[in-house]
Structure 1
Amino acid sequence: MNPLSFLLGEWQHRRLLSDGQRSALETHERTRPVSVYLLLRSLLYAGVLLFTSGVGMLIYKNIDTIGHTVLIGLLAVLTLGGFFYVIRTGGSFSRGIVENESKFGDFALLIACTLFLILEGYVQWRYNVFGTRYGLATVLPAVLFLFCAYRFDHRGVLSMGLTALASWVGITVAPLDVLSSNDFNNMQLIVTGVLLGAFYIGVGLTSERINFKKHFAFTYLSLGGNVFFIASSAGLFRSESGSLGFVLPIAAGCWLFINHARRTQSFLFLLMAVVYGYIGFTYVLFQVMNEELWAFFGLMYVVASTGGVIWFFLNYKKILRGRSEDGAAPAARSQE
């Protein structure tokens, strides 16, 4: 059964809808237009995923029969072919959004970058070309992807480049035994995450201010913000006495993201600030609270938090509009 028909049937059974209202809603759902553009892009992205997955399965299933040299050559040809197509069809560089003349240029670049990762990993596994220099193996795709992202204006490849850069920073800073043992409580790794997240946030805000690839700011802020807040929260959760020093970075990050969310009308950044701020505040509150008060105050705090969540979702639009209304009032007074 159609989920919408089932839901409308339940509402009609409870006398929340009349027969005419149900019929009108079902007719609207059947006749509403469908975005062909979004449908085709979704199919193309699914095709990219299936193609790269198929290449990986081809390598895994036929290593012994085809041979390593043939597979590496095939991957190299496909990768170079993808980059060649992007270079031939890509437009000129621009500080703003670039409209690609080819409808398949974005997908070809994504395929080429993904195949490059597969090729690099395969060559490293087979011939150990990088040896134990794992930092070099991660910085190469980071540089390539960031260059391609800015040259051909691709936010998906930008995310891949920033992720590879974060991997390179983590491998370079943290000892190898820390990563191999999954000891993410290492203070050196935590501080690196905080600094890297702050760097990404700074680049995103700067790109907006100087109007240089300002549409990349969302990627920088979303990725950098999560890295920053997660690393700061990990530092806060440490049992050492100095871990409370991470309260200030979390508070500053929340203030920054709330102001940016109100300026850009972004619910995502507002939600990030509220969620991470709530986690940090709750942890600090129960850390400094006397254990004798936990049983009484803890229940009250849970109830108050539930009410706060309900209030937030009911009023988040007012919070986002507050900045624009505050900025509009002085402008109106100046016109008077």
Structure 2
Amino acid sequence: MSIQWFPGHMHLTRKAIGQRIKDIDVVIELLDARLPASSANPLLAELTEGRPTLKVLNKQDLADAARTPAWLDWYNARPGTRAIALDASDTAPARRLIEGCRQLAPTRRGMARPMRVLIVGVPNVGKSTLINTLSARREARTGDEAGITRQEQRIVLDDDFYLWDTPGMLWPRIVVPESGERLAASGAVGRNAYDEEEVAMALLAYLKQHYAALLVARYKLARPEAEIAALHDDELLDLIARKRGAVMSGGRLNLQKAAEIVLTDLRSGSIGRVTLETPDEYAAWLAAAHEREAERAERRAEQRKRDERRARRTGE
């Protein structure tokens, strides 16, 4: 399943970040703790290259507590990078961001050398909620729809600490299909860019293998976990539709409604605490994607050669 979403305002955001980064000391990238690599934007990494980065695994209260430490270790092993996990609605841990930035740029203190921080992330990752928590005021609009923040905002957190918020941004082409599925499931992608039934089934395919007990409990499936894990994805969605009353006239199942239920339950945390990837899984997905990209480039090169030979024969 190929999921792509890069509307016009994201082009403007890319340009704005390219200009703003010249005056920035530290970049905070907010990630979804349930998909810590899939929610990391490679375009942002390119735009902010060379700047110390604080990776914040947000919504840790929704993520699998047993998996989050591995992701923190994975990011903390990178040069010029620190990683922390937090729940953006919790005031006390949110203030840890300021100290994390101070550690990454210790010389930026006082009015003569104020700390200048840019906060970035994919849509619907919780930036606006975090900023409101940090500033103790409702500085930024919040909501559960991707793309609410549409322009840059400047927030003063301390006398010598300035934070610039930017709209959520994806990247022009998501080459790892598993990442596209997870971004859509989390709500980071506009609803018109994907098929909800397909995304819900892709989500269930992962959950039934790693969190079957949570599915049994949430949807009262009354079947052994092993049996749930063995179901085909569409069979599992059918079962959830029946259990949740997503039935139309004539007894036909409303799979669209069932898919919406599953996705809403993931986003709200109603399914339970889940993390939809491990470092090893993501590494395997990325390697496979790079291999496909290399094959694609090779096919294009061969096609260009064929076109050139044909053009030469035609011109003779």
**TM above 0.5, one fold?**
no
With structure 1 as the length reference, what TM-score do the two structures score?
A: 0.23
Q: Please state which structure has a larger fraction of its residues in helix.
A: 1
